[in-house]
Amino acid sequence: MKPVGKVTHYYDKIGVAIVELVTGLKVGDKIKFEGHGSDFEQTVSSMQVDHEEVKEAKKGDIVGLQATGKVREGAIVLKVEAE
């Protein structure tokens, strides 16, 4: 697993994590939230950049991801490599 980014904010009511990317990410990628009380995997089902739906985002983008579990600011986002 390699780091994809870090959670900078989490909107509890709508279950959306704001992630600052250090590498590219695509819809369909499998990711893992780790640290700060978060530890679960999920597939990226939708992603937004500046409130616009996107299929992929690049390094440096700040994206909103629907999170299937509760995440905390500072949690690391890892990309789960296919086995």
* Tokens representing residue 68 in the block: 């299937």
Encode pLDDT of 24-42 as tens digits: 999 999 999 999 788 999 9
Q: Where in the sequence is the domain holding 43, given as residue range(s)? A: 2-79
By C-alpha distance, which of 47, 4, 30, 8 is closest to 83?
Answer: 30
Cα of 50 vs its chain's centroid, Å: 15
Encode pLDDT of 40-80 as tens digits: 999 999 999 999 999 999 999 999 999 999 999 999 999 99
The C-alpha atoms of residue 52 and residue 64 are separated, in whole angstroms, by: 10
CATH for 25: 2.40.30.10
Whose tokens are 């530890």? That residue is 39
The count of structural domains within the chain is 1
Q: What is the dihedral of CA 16, 39, 30, 66, to 10 degrees?
A: -10
